[in-house]
Amino acid sequence: MVQRVVDWVDERIDLSDVRHFIAGKGVPIHAQKVWYYLGGLTLFLLAVQIFTGILLLLYYRPSAAEAYESVQFIVSDVEFGWLIRNIHSWSANLLIAVAFAHFFSVFLLKSYRKPRELTWLTGIVLLFLMLAFGFSGYLLPWNELSFFATKVGTGIAGTVPFVGRFLLRLLRGGDEVTGATLSRFYGLHVAVLPAITTALVAAHLLLVQRQGMSVPIDVEQRAKPGERLRQMPFFPNYVLRDVLAWYIALAILAALAAFYPWELGKKADQFAVVPPGIRPEWYFLAMFHTLKLLPSHILGLEGERVGVAAFGLAALFLVLVPFLDGRSNRGERSPLFTALAMLGLVYLVAFTIIGHFAK
Amino acid sequence: MDSKARTVGVLVAFLGVCPFGAGVALAQTPAGRDTCVSCHAGLPESRLARPAELFAQPDIHRESGFACADCHRGDPGATEKSRAHDGAHGFRGKPMGLAVITACARCHSDAELMRRFAPRQRVDQALEYATSVHGKRLAAGDTKVATCASCHGAHGVRRVKDSKSPVFPTNVGGTCASCHASDEHMRGYTLPGGAPLPVNQFSEYQKSVHYAALMKADDLSAPSCNACHGNHGAAPPGVGSVANVCGTCHAVFAQKFETSVHAQIFDKGCVECHGNHAVLKPSDEMLGTGAHAICATCHGGPDDKGAVAAEAMRGDIDRLKGAIDATGTLVARVKNAGIEVSTQELALAEARSHLTLARAEIHASDAARVDAIIQDGLKIVTTTDTAGQRGLRELKYRRTGLVISLGVILLVVVTLALKIRQLDRRG
C-alpha cells in the first residue's frame, strides 16, 4: 500500500533524487555518536509542542478575564484536556533541557567549525527562541506564579542598557503586567515565534542533511590518512534509532503527565501582595540568581544593568563562537573553547541548583 | 433624684470648679522660662523629681505645647518655690480625686479648645465618667476609685493609639487589673447582693478566646475590659443588657438569641452558657446532652423537649461536620493526584458556610430551623462527594491508561531494538 502511494507520487513529481540522497546518506559511527540523537529528540519534542499547542488553542481564551478559567476548563472538563495540557507543560521543559544538552554537545564536540557555521547560528537562535517560547507560554495560564514571575522577568528586560524602558513597555503593553501583556505574549507564543521557528528549523535541518553529521576533531585526527570512517545507513538504521529515542521520550512524557500533573495554582490577582518565593522557570534561574547576587553598583553603574549587559555579551559571544575559534576551524584541538564550554555548563548547573534552594 | 439628674449634678460638681472659658484662657502657657521642670528635675526626692522626668518623655500634652502650670497652676516663671507655688497664682499642687477630673475636663470637655488639637476626639469623657461606678463612688466621697490619671497616667501621657499607652487595647486589661486584681485595693467593695467583689476577672479573662485573639493573634479589634464595660463610663453591664453588649460584635447570634425561648428565661443572657470573663472558644460539645454539654445543665431525660431538641441539633451538626470532613479528605486526595477540583473546593466552602449558619441558628433554639440549614449543606456535600468519587474513578482510568500506553510503547521499543539489531547484523 505504502509502495503504491510512493509510486503514485513518484510518477508525478519524480522522487528519485530524494530516494538516491536518502539511500546514499550515512551517519558516522564512533564513540560520541550518541550525542547525534539529541537533535532529533529536540525536533520530536518541538513536534509534540506544536501538536499539543494546537489542541490547546481550540479552548484557550487569551484574556485576563478568561485565560485562567479556560485552562481550568481544559484540565477539568475537556476530554483528555488534562493530558494535553500536562504533556504540553512537561514537554516544554524537556524540550529546553534537551535543547541545552544538544547545544553543549555541539559546543564541546566543536561541531560548529567550518563549514557548519550557519548550522550553529540557526541552532543558537533556535535555542533563544525556545527560551522565548518558555517565557511567553509561562504567563498564558494567568496564574499567580506566572503573573509575578513575568513581572520580575519583564522588569529585568527593563534594565537592558539604552533600550530597557522601550523593551519593558513593548513586552508589557504598558507600564504594568496586565491583560495587554497577556495578549502580546499570546500573539508572540502562537504566531510570531512559531513562524520564525518554522523557518529556522527548516534551514537548520536542510543544513544538517546537506552537510551531514559533523565528526569530532579527535576522531578525525585518530583516523589514518585516506581512511574513511565507518558509517551506518541513515535510513533505516539511524532513523529507527531516532524513533526509538522518541518513543522513550514519549513514555517519559506520559508518565510525568499522569503522575506529576502541572499545577494550575491560583488565578492571578494584579492587586495581590507578591507571594513569597517568586522565581522564574528553572531555565532562567541561573541568570536570575546571578543578578540577585550582584552588588547594587559596579564601577558606578547599576549592578543589574551591568549583569544584563554581560548576559547580552555572553549571548553575542555564543553566536560568534564559530568565527572566534580558529583552531577548531583548522581541525586542531581547541582547549580554550572546551574550557569555556565546561565553565558555562558548570555555571549554569551550579547556579540553577543554588537559585532553586535560595530563599 | 433620677439617674439623669444625678449625672448632670455630678458633672456640674466636676466642672463647676472651673468654668470652660477658663480652660481656653489658661491652656498652653506662653512660651518663656518654665522653672517647674528645671527645679523639680533636680530635687532629691523621687516623688517630686519623677513627674519632671516623665513629662520630659513622650507626653502628648508637652508635645502639644502644654506645661506644668496648665494643670497645676502657680507661677512657672518664678525662681523661688514660695512664689512658684503661690496660692495667689492659683497653685493647686497635686490634684486628687475630683480635682483630677476637673483638671482634665477643663480642656477635654471644651469642644472649642479640643478642636484645635484633636478635632475628632470626643469631649464627653467627664460626662460619661460621671455615669460610671468610678464616677458615682468618687462623687460619693470614695477617693480610692480610678480617675483619669489612674488609667492614662498623669505625666508622660501617651496617645491611646501608642502601643506603650496603658490604655492601648493590649494594655487595658493589665491597667484595670492593677486595681481590680488587687485584694487589698478591692477590699470593702461588694456586689449588689453583698458578696465581696471578686478580684479574679483578669485571670479569668486571660483564659478567654477574647484574650487569645487580642494578645496572641494581635487582633486589636478583640475585646478587652472596656469593650464590654465601657471605658470612661465603666460599669458592669446590667443583667438585661448582656445580650446587647455581646451583640455589639456578635450581632447575628444576638438576633437569633432574641427569637429564642431562652431569651425570656435566661437572667444573664449569653453569660448563662458562655460565661463572662472566661469566655472559652465555643465547641459543638457544648450542645446536646453529653458530658460536656451546657444544655445538660438544665435539660435531661427523654421527656424533656429541650433535651430532645438539643440532641437533634447536635446530631445534625455532627452529621454535616462528618460529611464535610470525609468529602474534604476525598477531594484532597483527588487534588493531590493532580485532578482539578477547584469547583469541589468551592462547594465544600459553601457547605462549611452552612455549618457556620447552623451553629449560629442554634442560638434561636429551634431544631427545625437548624435541620433545614443542615439538609441544604448535606445536599451540597453529597453532590461534591459524587464528584470526588468520579475524580477517583478518573484517576484510576488515567493510571490504567498510562500502564496500557507504556506497555504499547515498550512493545514498540523492543520491536525497534530487535529490528535495529537485525539491520546491524545484516551489515
* Burial call B44-66: b when 16+ CB within 10 Å, e when fewer: eeeeeeebbebbeeebbbbeeeb
Q: Is the pLDDT of residue B248 over 80?
A: yes
Chain B residues with CB under 8 Å of A244 CB are 413, 416-417, 420
Helix (H/G/I), strand (E/B), else coil: A40: helix
- Indicate yes or no: CB of B416 within 8 angstroms of CB of A247: yes
A16 within 8 A of A229, measured Cβ to Cβ? no
Q: Taking the complete model, does pTM exceed 0.90, yes or no? A: no
For residue A335, the Cα-to-chain-centroid distance in whole angstroms is 27
- Indicate yes or no: CB of B406 within 8 angstroms of CB of A251: yes
A346 within a domain of the structure (yes/no): no
Chain B residues with CB under 8 Å of A241 CB are 420
Question: Taking residues B245-265, what's their average pLDDT?
Answer: 91
- Indicate yes or no: CB of A76 within 8 angstroms of CB of B340: yes
CATH of the domain at A256: 1.20.810.10
**Interface contact A128, partner B, CB < 8 A:** no
Total domains in chain A come to 1
Q: Retrieve residue A164's grid coordinates.
A: 530597557
Task: Indicate the pLDDT class of residue B33, thresholds 50, 70 and 90.
Answer: low
Q: Which of A83, A126, A58 is nearest to A262 (CA)?
A: A83
Q: Which of A318, A270, A332 is nearest to A104 (CA)?
A: A318
Q: Which of the two residues, A120 and B237, has the higher pLDDT score?
A: A120
**Interface contact B346, partner A, CB < 8 A:** no
Chain A residues with CB under 8 Å of B420 CB are 237, 240-241, 244
Q: Is the pLDDT of residue B14 over 60?
A: no
Question: Taking residues A148-157, what's their average pLDDT?
Answer: 93
Q: Which of B136, B165, B338 is nearest to A257 (CA)?
A: B338
Q: Give the nearest partner residue to B402 out of A244, A248, A255, using CB atoms.
A: A255
B417 within 8 A of A248, measured Cβ to Cβ? no
Q: Retrieve residue B391's grid coordinates.
A: 475524580
CA distance A143 to A264: 7
Residue corresponding to grid cell 519593558:
A168
Residue B194 buriedness (CB in 10 A; 0-12 / 13-18 / 19+): exposed
Q: Is the pLDDT of residue B6 over 60?
A: no
- Indicate yes or no: CB of A248 within 8 angstroms of CB of B413: yes
Task: Indicate the pLDDT class of residue B26, thresholds 50, 70 and 90.
Answer: very low
- Determine the pLDDT at residue B240: 66
Please identify among residues 219-248 of chain A the ones whose CB lies closer than 8 Å to any CB of chain B.
232, 236-237, 240-241, 243-244, 247-248
Chain A residues with CB under 8 Å of B424 CB are 232, 237
**Interface contact B343, partner A, CB < 8 A:** yes
Nearest CA in chain B to A77: B340
pLDDT, one tens digit per residue, over B393-412 is 999 999 999 999 999 999 99
- Determine the pLDDT at residue B30: 52
A329 within a domain of the structure (yes/no): no
Cα-Cα-Cα-Cα torsion B244, B248, B253, B255, nearest 10 degrees, comes to: 60
B112 within 8 A of B24, measured Cβ to Cβ? yes
The DSSP bridge pattern shows strands A297-298 and A301-302 to be antiparallel
Nearest CA in chain B to A246: B413
CA distance A66 to A53: 18
CB count, 10 Å around CB of B210?
23
Interface mutation vs chain A, best among B331, B333, B336, B342, most A CBs within 10 Å: B342
Q: Give the nearest partner residue to B406 out of A232, A243, A254, using CB atoms.
A: A254
DSSP state letter for A359: -
Q: Give the nearest partner residue to A240 out of B340, B405, B420, using CB atoms.
A: B420
pLDDT, one tens digit per residue, over B281-291 is 999 999 999 98
- Indicate yes or no: CB of A75 within 8 angstroms of CB of B340: yes
Q: Give the nearest partner residue to A244 out of B343, B402, B417, using CB atoms.
A: B417
- Determine the pLDDT at residue A156: 92
**In chain A, what percentage of residues exceed pLDDT 70?**
100
- Backbone phi, psi, residue B132, to 5°: -80, 165
**Interface contact B404, partner A, CB < 8 A:** no
DSSP state letter for B119: T
Helix (H/G/I), strand (E/B), else coil: A86: helix
- Determine the pLDDT at residue B241: 74
Chain A residues with CB under 8 Å of B333 CB are none
Residue A120 buriedness (CB in 10 A; 0-12 / 13-18 / 19+): buried
Element (H, E) at A216: none
Nearest CA in chain B to A82: B339
**Looking at this protein, which amino acid is placed at residue B160?**
V
- Indicate yes or no: CB of B339 within 8 angstroms of CB of A82: yes
A290 within a domain of the structure (yes/no): no
A157 within a domain of the structure (yes/no): yes
A169 within a domain of the structure (yes/no): yes
User: A191: Cβ–Cβ under 8 A, 6 or more apart, which residues?
Assistant: none
- Determine the pLDDT at residue B22: 39
- Indicate yes or no: CB of A251 within 8 angstroms of CB of B413: yes
Task: Indicate the pLDDT class of residue A6, thresholds 50, 70 and 90.
Answer: confident
Q: Is the pLDDT of residue B18 over 70?
A: no
Q: How many Cα atoms within 13 Å fall on the side-chain side of residue A346?
A: 6
For residue A283, the Cα-to-chain-centroid distance in whole angstroms is 10
Per the structure, the complete domain to which residue A152 belongs is given by 31-266+276-281
B275 within 8 A of B332, measured Cβ to Cβ? no
**Interface contact A74, partner B, CB < 8 A:** no
Q: Provide the ipTM.
A: 0.85
CA distance B262 to B246: 16
Please identify among residues 137-196 of chain A the ones whose CB lies closer than 8 Å to any CB of chain B.
none
User: Of A90-104, A299-313, B89-103, which one has max mean pLDDT?
Assistant: A90-104
Supply the mean pLDDT for chain B. Answer: 88
**Looking at this protein, which amino acid is placed at residue B302?**
P
Question: Taking residues A9-24, what's their average pLDDT?
Answer: 89
A224 within a domain of the structure (yes/no): yes
A109 within 8 A of A338, measured Cβ to Cβ? no
**In chain B, what percentage of residues exceed pLDDT 70?**
91
Q: Is the pLDDT of residue A265 over 90?
A: no
Beta bridge partners of B170: none
**Interface contact B390, partner A, CB < 8 A:** no
- Backbone phi, psi, residue B193, to 5°: -75, -10
- Indicate yes or no: CB of B423 within 8 angstroms of CB of A236: yes
The answer to whether the bond into B282 is cis (omega within 30° of 0) is no
A354 within a domain of the structure (yes/no): no
User: B94: Cβ–Cβ under 8 A, 6 or more apart, which residues?
Assistant: B72
Q: Retrieve residue B78's grid coordinates.
A: 518664678
Residue corresponding to grid cell 448582656:
B242
Beta bridge partners of A267: A143
CA distance B333 to B394: 12
Q: Which of the two residues, B386 and B230, has the higher pLDDT score?
A: B386
B384 within 8 A of B342, measured Cβ to Cβ? no
A348 within a domain of the structure (yes/no): no
Q: Retrieve residue B424's grid coordinates.
A: 546491524
- Determine the pLDDT at residue A41: 97
